[in-house]
């Protein structure tokens, strides 16, 4: 079974600074997706960024980028120019891309609570 | 316009009662899910339905019974509610890319239902 580990229960960053959230995962599959979700106090799950395992290039979405190290099974999220609105729980998630498994659910890490200090 | 909707958003009830949470998606997706987020914010899959058929049933007490009347709806019925059932329940949906391997990766989440059992 796949597992996702987020080793930082809480992180804080000064406004306008950069912060990196860590995520490692364990799988025997070669084809999968990795995601970072943001959950603000409203509790809505918001997709921040995704990475497909077969792509070597790291995904980027505006101020959000990832460092995907497939061999190390590491998938960290970097938030640049942090804003007050970035304060939230961040979840790393894994999903199999094995087409023979059909639509597979997400496997989540336990989350990192990010605080942004003005 | 809401892609995935859940009703109710808040549910407060007493131990021993039976309650239902409804989910509807208007995205035309063929797979729907129920996730549970516990008091420590950990998110875990409970059930997954594909075209109205149950395909994943994690180790969930049989007091929980999902029902999918059609592809667009997935309801969760809970019998004999216990204090430990207090959590946020998320519905989600996605579209399978099929055996042709079309990459369809995103899951869309509903706003969640906060269930409090007293």
pLDDT tens readout for residues A31-81: 899 999 999 999 999 999 999 998 889 999 999 999 999 999 999 999 999
Predicted confidence band of residue B1 (pLDDT cuts 50, 70, 90): low
E strands in chain B: 4-7, 10-13, 19-25, 31-37, 43-50, 53-57, 64-70, 73-78, 87-94, 108-109, 113-117
Test the A interface: residue of B23, B107, B110 with most A CBs within 10 Å: B107
Q: Note the pLDDT tens digit of each residue in A5-41.
A: 999 999 999 999 999 999 999 999 988 999 999 999 9
- Partners of residue A102 in chain B, C-beta under 8 Å: 31, 50, 55, 96
Range(s) of the domain holding residue A78 = 3-117
- In this complex, is the C-beta atom of A11 within 8 Å of any C-beta atom belonging to chain B? no
Which letter does DSSP use for residue B65 in this model?
Answer: E
Assess if residue B81 is contained within a domain.
yes
Taking chain A, what is the end-to-end CA distance rounded to the nearest angstrom? Answer: 41
Assess if residue B94 is contained within a domain.
yes
CATH number at residue B77: 2.60.40.10
Domain count, chain B: 1
Q: Note the pLDDT tens digit of each residue in B15-35.
A: 999 999 999 999 888 889 999
pLDDT value of residue B71: 87
Residue B7 clears pLDDT 80, i.e. is over it: yes
For A27-88, the DSSP string reads: -S-SSEEEEEEEE-TT---EEEEEEETT--SPPEETTEEEEEETTTTEEEEEE-S--GGG-E
Let me know: does B105 contact A52? Beta carbons within 8 Å. yes
Average pLDDT of the residues in B63-78: 93
Assess if residue B109 is contained within a domain.
no
Assess if residue B90 is contained within a domain.
yes
Contact A107 B101 (CB under 8 A): no
CATH number at residue A21: 2.60.40.10
Range(s) of the domain holding residue B57 = 4-98
Contact B96 A89 (CB under 8 A): no
Given B31, B40, B44, which is nearest A103 (Cβ)? B31
Which letter does DSSP use for residue A104 in this model?
Answer: P
Domain count, chain A: 1
Q: Which residue has the tokens 């990766």?
A: B105
Q: Note the pLDDT tens digit of each residue in A84-96.
A: 999 999 999 999 8
The nearest CA of chain B is from the CA of A50 a distance in Å of 9
Between the ranges A15-19, A104-108, B55-59, where is the mean pLDDT highest? A15-19
């Amino acid at each position: 079974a796949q597992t996702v580990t987020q080793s930082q229960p809480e992180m804080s960053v000064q406004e306008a600074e950069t912060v990196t959230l860590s995520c490692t995962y364990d799988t025997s599959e070669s084809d999968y997706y990795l995601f970072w979700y943001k959950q603000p106090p409203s509790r809505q799950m918001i997709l921040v960024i995704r990475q497909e395992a077969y792509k070597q290039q790291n995904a980027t979405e505006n101020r959000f980028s990832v460092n995907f190290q497939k061999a190390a099974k590491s998938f960290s999220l970097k938030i640049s120019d942090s804003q007050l609105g970035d304060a939230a729980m961040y979840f790393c998630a894994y999903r199999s891309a094995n087409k023979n498994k059909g639509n597979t659910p997400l496997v989540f890490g336990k989350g990192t609570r990010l605080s942004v200090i003005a | 316009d809401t892609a995935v909707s859940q009703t109710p958003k808040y549910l407060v009830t007493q131990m021993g009662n039976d309650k239902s949470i409804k989910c509807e998606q208007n995205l035309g997706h063929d797979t729907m899910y129920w996730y549970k987020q516990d008091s420590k914010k950990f998110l875990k899959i409970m059930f997954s339905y594909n075209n109205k058929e149950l395909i994943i049933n994690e180790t969930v007490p049989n007091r929980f019974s999902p029902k999918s009347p059609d592809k667009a709806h997935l309801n969760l019925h809970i019998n004999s509610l216990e204090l430990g059932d207090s959590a946020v329940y998320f519905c989600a949906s996605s579209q399978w890319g099929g055996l042709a391997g079309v990459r369809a990766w995103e899951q869309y989440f509903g706003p969640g239902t906060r269930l409090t059992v007293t």
